[in-house]
Amino acid sequence: MEDTGCWMFMKTPFIAGLMKCSNYGVGWDELLTAAQQGHTKEVLRILKKDPELIFTADVVGETVLHVVARAGHALTVTKLMEFMENHWLMKVLLMKNVDGDTALHLAIKHNHKKTAYGLVGWQNIAMDEMNKDGISPWDLEEEARWGLFSSTRCAGVADIEMRLAMISIELEELYKVKWLEGTPIGVRAAFLQASANGVIRTKQIQLELVQFGGNLLHIIAARSGTVDILKLLVKFMNNSELASLPLERNKAGDTALHLALNCRDEASALYLIEVAPKAAYFLNQDGVSPLHSAIELQYNDMVRRIFQLLPGTRIDSSMRKSLLRAKKASVVHAAVRSRNLGMLERIMEELPDTIDLLNEEGWKPLSYAAYEGYLEEVHFFLNNFPDSARKCDRDGSFPIHKAVGAGHVHIVDEFISSCPLTIHDVDKRGRSILHIAVKYARPDVFSYLTKKEEVQNIFYLKDQEGKTFMDFATQLENRFKALLGDSHNIEQ
């Protein structure tokens, strides 16, 4: 006889949510456990299989680097920094948790000197980063009176100056390169005219072309307020040049449009979009498109013009795929971050596929908006893309878990009102919204949830370890008491 009871149980929201998460966050749990325990070799083994896991963040925005910094595993930090340097992953040093703390903040706050020094010994880019209290690691270190970072900062400046001097000496020989040889005649004519007017210096142009690659459009676009020279260059181009040069990339993968936006030269950028709108969708080596930069800079008219000239629905499949792989510079996450609902609506109209795009932390747009507490954006996603509420992020948690972890009662209320089934969503470890509220000590969210009649249905829900949220609370309380009792063992 068929076991219908078992089948019906498998169809419950709890089990359905758990099964839906099963393919997400592969390796993340193992990485987190290894990091917490300071198992350096295991951490590196997992990261070598999937380096992008280093950017994955949990529901309170903490990466594996935050975890080892908080725990004070100095050796693990040192090896992680080597790995990050070799794989161009140093940007993780700037990633912040829900309190705005970088890994360096946490190392100093927990008095882990060796760990903190390990985090700045390679690149001190996080030393001046402010958390939500307006405090930087530099401030914390000064308060602790360690006296370690001042020498690091001075040494860093001296090193940069020395490297620049060495590069200049090496490039002196390269000035002899006939960089104009093979350059289209129109561009040469424009260069000569601009040179004659004293706008640009030949020697500097030679250096930049040898060092950075690209063409003269790149050189001019990289200088703010040069739209008239750009127009002059375009005037001298034939049809073949006009079709190719604005789309050409330099050694960093930048088009001239990228460089104009880097300079925040809105006039030059708008002109280059008119010349070659396709360039707006090109990614450089950092995965950044001019469209993303325009959204970040809140150049709303420019974004609208890009879509007028070349709608997102009409770009070719290869360009669309590259945009959907742009984890480091997702256009939809940038639109959410801009807090411009009209901009977000337009992006989603033109590029609806981006609803499932992951950012560096491994979060989809709705999760990011929920974590940041952006009510209008959350409301927009829930009403226009309701399925996104039931889709996991890379860490195996749901959007509502991000809202709970960040302590946003108004966002949690929006989820429950718009999509009541999210109450039953559990993360990869089987933890409910009540487990999350207890684990991350979110009393306001917890109080709100326990007063909701529909939430009572999950009071006795157990995680994968067989614990209800009440068991979880008791366990954490005992651990906290033990920590207070052993406070004299904290690293000095």
CA distance 217 to 275: 12
Structural domains in the chain, CATH included, are: 24-156 (1.25.40.20), 172-394+408-426 (1.25.40.20)
Mean pLDDT of the chain: 80
Residues 168-172 have a mean pLDDT of 35
Q: What does the pLDDT look like over 53-110, one tens digit per residue?
A: 999 999 999 999 999 999 999 899 989 988 887 777 888 999 999 999 999 999 999 9
pLDDT at 210: 57
pLDDT at 167: 33
Would you say residue 143 has pLDDT above 50?
yes
Rg for the chain (alpha carbons), in Å? 26
pLDDT at 65: 96
